[in-house]
Amino acid sequence: MMQAVETTAVAGGRLTIDLAAIRANYRQLETQVAPARVGAVVKANAYGLGAVEVASTLAAAGCRDFFVALLQEALALKPNLPTDAALHVLNGVAPGDEGLCARHGIQPVLNSLGQALRWRDAARAQGRPLSAAIQIDSGMSRFGLSPEEVDALAGEPGFRAEVDVRLIMTHLACAETPAAAVNRGQLDRFTALAARFGPGPERSIANSAGSFLATEFHGTLVRSGLALFGAEPAPGALGLLRPVVGLEARVNQVRTVEAGAGVGYGLTYVTMGRTRLATLAVGYADGWPRRLGGRASAWFGDTRLPIVGRVSMDSMMVDVTQLAPDALAEGDYVELIGPNADLDAVALAADTIPYEILTGLGARLARRYVDAAPADGDLLS
């Protein structure tokens, strides 16, 4: 405990994660997609927010379906989940790792005929059926069985007796664009191909954005990641989700420079008049994109502090001339993500997506978890 306090005190930036907001977003999504269930995608350390903390919060709220990308993530998370939770590995299992996956009760998503047959062989070696999910490529050309592989696997003698296929899934390429015709095309292809495995397995089509498409896209289980963490994955989500993340940077230095002073690497910004600058202890090594120099701002209260010059590896400069001379001192904190600039706004300024901002937030940032709301009744009004 002492080490955690010391780390927070000396970090250049602090990241606040609102667990009550994650829980509220989960409840909102449950309402959105009912009667389908909501599963949680907690890959990449829950998009940088802490897989154990986030998954534990969601499990306490009733979530029992979790998805990670890699077996190594699953092995780390499995001991922290309820025994009745299903933990899926989206990328499947690499050749030779089937036994390890099976021994720990982790369910791979079988993405190719080779993966499926190796998992069947692992079941034979274990002397018992092994559960799994199957992914069908319905048109994204990333993961999943092709139509030819679906036919081959569905016709494989005895496969279903040795592999307990509990879930059949696909992934939408353009779910964030509700009017895209490809969404309906993928749904129709998936429905036809999934039928080759019979009516037993559950169906999963929608990610966070897909949760806001028509009901037929929800299947029996939606796989939500970004929406749980407060970003708006699709136009239909506007105003429904609570922000989860706050990011602050510590002030390392405040100085006054005269007109004509160059600022930062390359001297890409030159002051027009006498200017007060604050150097902040967050840079691109902490996941704050370099391209935000000259495009985004920090905030102190409701005062905007433009980022001037280039973002450096460990620092950046902001113009604090608008503040009273004694308003900001070394050791104070300013807002980078928060009420004045949410995750979506920062991503827009960086010409990227909220996923990249979240997953890039570095290990040097001190992470603080808050849970200010009760477990029940925390839906948005």
State phi, psi for 23 to the nearest 5 degrees.
-65, -40
Q: Angle between the 147-154 and 113-126 helix axes, to the nearest 10 degrees?
A: 30
Name residue, tokens 């001297």.
267
The length of the chain, given as a count of residues: 381
Distance between CA atoms of 313 and 306, rounded to whole angstroms? 18
- The one catalytic residue in 26, 47, 265, 355 is 265
Residue 246 CB neighbours (<10 A): 19
Rg (CA), the chain: 24
What tokens were used for 244? Answer: 């989860």
Torsion angle defined by CA atoms of residues 66, 69, 72 and 74, in that order, rounded to the nearest 10 degrees: 10
Name residue, tokens 């570095």.
362
110, containing H or E segment: strand 107-110
Instruction: Judge if the upstream peptide bond of residue 35 is cis by omega within 30 degrees of 0.
Output: yes
Distances from the Cα of 287 to the Cα of 19, 70, 312, angstroms: 21, 22, 11
Cβ atoms of 163 and 116 closer than 8 Å: yes
Torsion sign, CA atoms 83, 84, 87, 88? positive
- The one catalytic residue in 26, 43, 47, 355 is 43
Distance between CA atoms of 168 and 136, rounded to whole angstroms? 7
| Distance between start and end Cα atoms, the chain | 36
**78 given a catalytic annotation:** no
Q: String of b and e for 92-124 (b: at least 16 CB within 10 Å)?
A: bbeeebbeebbeeebbbbbbbbebbbbbbebbe
**269 given a catalytic annotation:** no
Torsion angle defined by CA atoms of residues 209, 214, 217 and 222, in that order, rounded to the nearest 10 degrees: 50
| Catalytic residue IDs | 43, 265
